[in-house]
Amino acid sequence: MTRQGTIGTGIGREAGKGNTGMNSEDIRKLEDLYVADTYARYDVVIARGAGVRCYDPEGKEYLDFTSGIGVNALGFCEPGWVRAVTEQAGKLQHTSNLFYTSPCSLAAEKMIRLSGMSNMFFCNSGAEANEGAIKTARKYSQLKYGTGDGGEPFDRYEIITLDGSFHGRTMATITATGQESFHKDFSPFLQGFAYAKANDADDLRAKLSDRTCAVMIEFVQGEGGVNDLDPAYVRTIADICATKDILLIADEVQTGVARTGEFMAYDHFDVKPDIVTAAKGMGGGLPIGAILFGERTKDVLKHGDHGSTYGGNPVVCAGADYVLSKIDGAFLSNVRKNGAYIKERLLAMDGVSDVSGKGLMIGAALADKKAGDVVRACIKNGLLILTAKDKLRLLPPLIIRRDEIDAGLDILERALKG
């Protein structure tokens, strides 16, 4: 039997040796050949990083305002985080959820203390956390309100999400996502989702029905364009949910774990969700997700209802425990101050028409340039930065210093002028 291999390319024959000695061209060539073409990638290879800077194999330096899309909360390879993860990898790498481990217990304790929620479930990604949140909401409702006789599995199952939202790439979470572009070509979708216009309380009220069991929101819509929810609108949602025993699900996958300058974005709004999902920044760079349950939902999922082979993995949890150990009042205040400073500088730039977001999750609307063109110009000049819809999106590591902010914003300012 013949198999296609790397022979034809003449590169990558030393399997298992990482990218040592490979140049950018070789790495790109192998990925283009063997990795499915689902991402529109930039022409950049990253070989190593430290703090807010990373480098390609030839040594070109980049300032990173992306954090791997909000993941590397402490920047690249923070020494204490590397130590925590590597020590754990050398001690115990995996056990399954049939057994207890200390990293899982410690990370969970910190998540619950910092979030004010009641208990939690570990998984591996944001979409997986949202899947579990959706299951929990349906089961809560089914247990409490029972099976209906309307020909449906049960009557109270519908989850309202918002236009412009993004909740993941699995079938349930693309169904939950309120953006048509993610739906095309993948029908049929799951039953039981309805979509309301963001920041429009009347539209939300119109979409509510006897079937509604939950409302699922991002307090700042990330992929949808760094769109802030109005405080009055959030208050209305929270009041409706409390009055009608509808669960409030906060998707904090991008906003959570200090990204917005509070531990969770709901802390800006003085509301208490019933279910919170987190992922991204929580692990500091390793795959993790979490479903946090409040008082109403903490006992809904029982033995056998839900699971995940890698959830609570000790190496990943050691990384998360380290990230969480760094978050205190001073850390959060620094995120808020640096975020306010970035917004101020952005607003003063020619070509930026508006800013949005909270803490170090920032959107910049552009007066006339295309966000993609600006990002490409920034990358050429050594700054990694993101888009969200037609805006620029800045998600720098939460430990970024003022001089690093200035260096990155100087590059952006030049790109906007060019």
Ligand X SMILES: Cc1ncc(COP(=O)(O)O)c(C=O)c1O
Residues of the shown chain interacting with ligand X in the complex, contacts defined by CB under 6 A: 125-127, 130, 166-168, 218, 222-223, 251, 253-254, 279
Q: How far is the CB of 287 from ligand X (least distance, A)?
A: 8
216: β partners: 249
Give, for 216, the enclosing helix (H) or strand (E): strand 212-217
Angle at 129 (CA atoms; ends 78, 250), nearest 5 degrees: 95
CB 372 within 8 A of CB 387: yes
Among the listed residues 110, 139, 207, 280, the single catalytic one is 280
122 as an active site residue: the answer is no
Among the listed residues 166, 182, 219, 263, the single catalytic one is 166
- Residue type present at position 286: L
For residues 52 and 134, which CB has a smaller minimum distance to ligand X in the complex?
134
Among the listed residues 26, 64, 155, 251, the single catalytic one is 251
280 as an active site residue: the answer is yes
For residues 22 and 291, which CB has a smaller minimum distance to ligand X in the complex?
291
CA 354 to chain centre: 23
Q: How far is the CB of 170 from ligand X (least distance, A)?
A: 8
For residues 186 and 328, which CB has a smaller minimum distance to ligand X in the complex?
186
390 as an active site residue: the answer is no
Closest CA to 213 of 176, 188, 266, 184: 176
DSSP 362: E
Comparing every residue's Cβ against ligand X, the nearest one is 126
Q: How far is the CB of 183 from ligand X (least distance, A)?
A: 16
For residues 88 and 254, which CB has a smaller minimum distance to ligand X in the complex?
254
Give, for 267, the enclosing helix (H) or strand (E): none
Angle at 403 (CA atoms; ends 399, 405), nearest 5 degrees: 65
DSSP 280: G
Dist. CA 390–CA 388, nearest whole Å:
6
Residue 152: both structure tokens together: 């449906």
For residues 51 and 273, which CB has a smaller minimum distance to ligand X in the complex?
273
Q: How far is the CB of 310 from ligand X (least distance, A)?
A: 13
Q: How far is the CB of 187 from ligand X (least distance, A)?
A: 20
- Catalytic annotation, residues: 166, 251, 280
